[in-house]
């Protein structure tokens, strides 16, 4: 899925400014789908407008510059549905924690404990965020993905709690058994 499709998804649920789209896609409920940076959203919106998939209107604000409000067009809705109909790409998952875990035999047990504790805190924070979204949501497909996300996070927490000793008690001399890097 592209930033372009993400913008159409947000606008499918209602008109929004570029700032609102950026906030929803980087910090809000749409931040789970596509890695959308500040610098990618506005060019995507400009392209969507040029392609006739969204319209933009300016709204005056008292004491502030006018704001641009984007709306999806019927052609945009059709393009969005067509994008949803494509087979999704595999999910992308990146985790700095997993790099630390992979190299656990190179660092102190305290470093590993700290990394696991930090990861578990992040997971609990994310779970609380999803719980908050679920409390204000009445959209059944969104509730499905919230339940799915919460299930995955609970499984991550349980796995770390049950298996943390596997990393915390590693013998650091196993690092010597690793093959040398090619020169």
Of 37, 66, 85, the position where a domain reaches its end is: 85
Lookup: tokens for 62? 């008292």
One domain for residues 79 and 104 = no
CB 45 within 8 A of CB 54: yes
Per the structure, how many domains does the chain have? Answer: 2
Look at residue 90 and tell me if it is in a domain: no
- Encoded tokens for 106: 């190179």
Helices (H), the chain: 3-12, 18-26, 38-50, 74-85, 96-102, 109-135, 140-168
What does the pLDDT look like over 38-60, one tens digit per residue? 788 899 999 999 999 999 999 99
Q: Note whether 80 and 7 are same-domain residues.
A: yes
Supply 170's token pair: 């590693």
Tens of pLDDT, residues 94-139: 899 999 999 999 999 999 999 999 999 999 999 999 998 888 888 8
Instruction: State which residues form the domain around 141.
Output: 96-177
Answer yes or no: is 91 within a domain: no
């Amino acid at each position: 899925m592209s930033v372009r499709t993400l913008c159409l998804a947000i606008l499918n649920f209602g008109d929004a400014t570029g700032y609102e789209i950026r906030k929803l896609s980087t910090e809000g409920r749409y931040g789970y789908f596509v890695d959308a940076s500040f610098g990618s959203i506005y060019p995507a919106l400009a392209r969507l407008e040029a392609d006739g998939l969204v319209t933009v209107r300016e709204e005056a604000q008292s004491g502030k510059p006018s704001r641009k409000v984007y709306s999806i067009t019927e052609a945009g809705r059709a393009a969005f549905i067509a994008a949803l109909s494509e087979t999704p790409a595999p999910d992308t998952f990146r985790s700095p924690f997993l790099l630390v875990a992979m190299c656990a035999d190179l660092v102190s047990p305290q470093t590993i404990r700290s990394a696991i504790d930090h990861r578990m805190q992040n997971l609990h924070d994310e779970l609380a965020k999803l719980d908050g979204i679920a409390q204000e949501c009445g959209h059944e497909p969104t509730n499905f993905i919230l339940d799915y996300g919460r299930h995955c996070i609970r499984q991550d927490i349980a796995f770390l709690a049950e298996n943390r000793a596997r990393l915390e008690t590693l013998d650091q001399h196993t690092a010597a058994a690793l093959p040398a890097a090619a020169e």
